[in-house]
Amino acid sequence: MFQTFTLFDAKQAAALFERVRALTYSGGKPSASGVAALRKNNRQAQWCPARDEIAGQVISALQQHPHVLAWTHPRFFSVPIFNLAGEGESYGEHVDMARMAGMHGWPMRTDISYTLFLAPPESYEGGALRFQLPYREVAVKLPAGSLVLYPSTLVHEVQPVTRGERYCVAGWIESMVHSGARRDLLYRLSVHCAKMAERHPADDVLLNDMTALLQGFIKELAQ
């Protein structure tokens, strides 16, 4: 249903955090609509050249992360949003919009949402990202530099911050494989292929067959 990965190591995350903290923030409601706008009580970074540079750094890291690519099969990335929530701020239960502005300059479909945590978790209390799953609820609060990816149709909320400040980057991905179930199967197959390559590095016939199988399924399921 969702996956977590480390996108930046501790040193990289700390440097990125300082740059994000230096941005100028204002009310975040304009980026939401409908019910989500009524429940959004946070701030987001205003446009400036520095924000675009940081956005490019985040997108580049996503594009180079093998597990992110294997789990999402990205076609387009949205323009990232830099969010800040201080004491008493939150973002109530909502579902993300079906379309967002893409980095390529026109609207894109939102298949997958992501949240990149930037503030050290010990620097703030509350502010967990809570998912409403079919049979349970899960609250996620990750180390700085870590990323959670989840279907954009999933009901979720940012719980109120009770101390400190929560800095995160939010964004969306349009996938070449629209079905979440199919993406999950492809990811499991890719992980299996990687494990087989580690266990049998000299078996060229096996590795070629596994690669052909994985790439064949991707071609069949991608749109």
Q: What is the DSSP string of 48-75?
A: -HHHHHHHHHHHHHHHH-HHHHHHH-EE
Instruction: Average the pLDDT over each of 134-138, 149-153, 216-220 and give the range with the smallest value.
Output: 134-138
Is pLDDT of 140 > 90?
Answer: yes
Q: Per-residue confidence at 113, pLDDT binned at 50, 70, 90?
A: very high
Of 223, 85, 94, 111, the closest CA to residue 171 belongs to: 111
HSE (CB half, 13 Å, CA atoms) of 35?
9
pLDDT of residue 1: 82
Q: In terms of DSSP H, where are the helices of the chain?
A: 10-21, 34-39, 49-64, 66-72, 180-199, 204-221
Q: Please answer whether residues 197 and 131 qualify as being in contact, where contact means their C-beta atoms are separated by less than 8 angstroms.
A: no
Please tell me whether residue 182 adopts helix, strand or coil conformation: helix
User: And the tokens for 151?
Assistant: 């279907």
Supply the pTM of this predicted model.
0.94
Sign of CA dihedral 134, 139, 143, 144: positive
Report the Cα 155 to chain-centroid distance in Å.
15
How do residues 114-131 score in pLDDT, each as one tens digit? Answer: 999 999 999 999 999 999
How do residues 149-198 score in pLDDT, each as one tens digit? Answer: 999 999 999 999 999 999 999 999 999 999 999 999 999 999 999 999 99
How do residues 75-97 score in pLDDT, each as one tens digit? Answer: 999 999 999 999 999 999 999 99
User: And the tokens for 127?
Assistant: 């502010």
In this structure, the strands spanning 125-126 and 146-151 are unpaired
Report d(CA 176, CA 210) in Å as an integer. 21
Q: Which residues 6+ apart lie within 8 Å of 167 measured at CB?
A: 17, 20, 21, 82, 83, 84, 118, 119
How do residues 13-53 score in pLDDT, each as one tens digit? Answer: 999 999 999 999 999 888 887 888 889 999 999 999 999 99
pLDDT of residue 38: 86
A 10 A CB-CB count for 155 gives: 13
